[in-house]
Amino acid sequence: MRNKILSLAVVLIMLMTLSLNVSAQETYDSSSQPKVELSKYIKNTSKSLTNKQAQVIFGDIKKQLLFEYGDIYSFHNFSGEFENERIEDGSTLIDVNIYADMTLTRHPSDSPFIKGMVEAVSEIYDEAEKGLIQDKINGYINEIETLYYNKPDASVFIYTIKLKSNTLKTDNLLDKDIQYELFYRTDVTS
């Protein structure tokens, strides 16, 4: 009985980890980034970025999203917003929202997460316990397949950029030389 509870707890913990938020920071010097196709659907309401600088940053983020998720998802209809410019602790911060239609293209059963659970189930000797956990895994696969697999979903990726002090809008700075730090943002709404 104790092993059943422990096994079920492990599976439930694995399932719950899918909903955790991750926060990270990356520093960019866009002059070293290769050119990517840019969307004409960029709204820039900031005062410190030119529209071309906003396009460069948009292209950097788009390329990063394709690199990070392109093996699992397909993306269409990218657009972006640069808004809510503010000064905090002497730094210029701008919120960036990137919108895209995102489609899960990897079958849920091919996910390393599911493969790991299936492997763990193969190590269980109690057939009743094994069946119970396999049913949970199959239910998860069916849910993901039904709700997300090959179904476009309007998605938003939210960031804040911190402009390097030497890259604020000036006449002598090339638009492609914008330097900034990228922060993943977690917004809490009611």
pLDDT for the residue numbered 146: 95
pLDDT for the residue numbered 150: 96
pTM score:
0.69
- Region 80-84 average pLDDT: 96
Q: Say if residue 76's pLDDT is above 70.
A: yes
pLDDT for the residue numbered 44: 95
What are the boundaries of each domain within the chain?
2-18+25-184
Greater model confidence, 136 or 35: 136
14-28, 62-76, 144-158: the lowest-pLDDT one: 14-28
pLDDT for the residue numbered 111: 93
pLDDT for the residue numbered 167: 52
Q: Say if residue 186's pLDDT is above 70.
A: yes
Q: Say if residue 58's pLDDT is above 50.
A: yes
Three-class SS state of 89: coil
| Chain segment 92-120, per-residue pLDDT in tens | 999 999 999 999 999 999 999 999 999 99
- 19 pLDDT band, cuts 50/70/90, is very low
Greater model confidence, 154 or 171: 154
Integer-rounded Cα Rg, in Å, for the chain is: 22
CA dist 152 and 29 (Å) reads 32
| Chain segment 115-154, per-residue pLDDT in tens | 999 999 889 999 999 999 999 999 999 999 999 999 999 9
Cβ atoms of residues 129 and 3 within 8 Å: yes
Cβ atoms of residues 175 and 52 within 8 Å: yes
Q: Say if residue 170's pLDDT is above 80.
A: no
Beta-strand pair 73-88/42-44: parallel
- Region 67-71 average pLDDT: 95
- Region 65-92 average pLDDT: 95
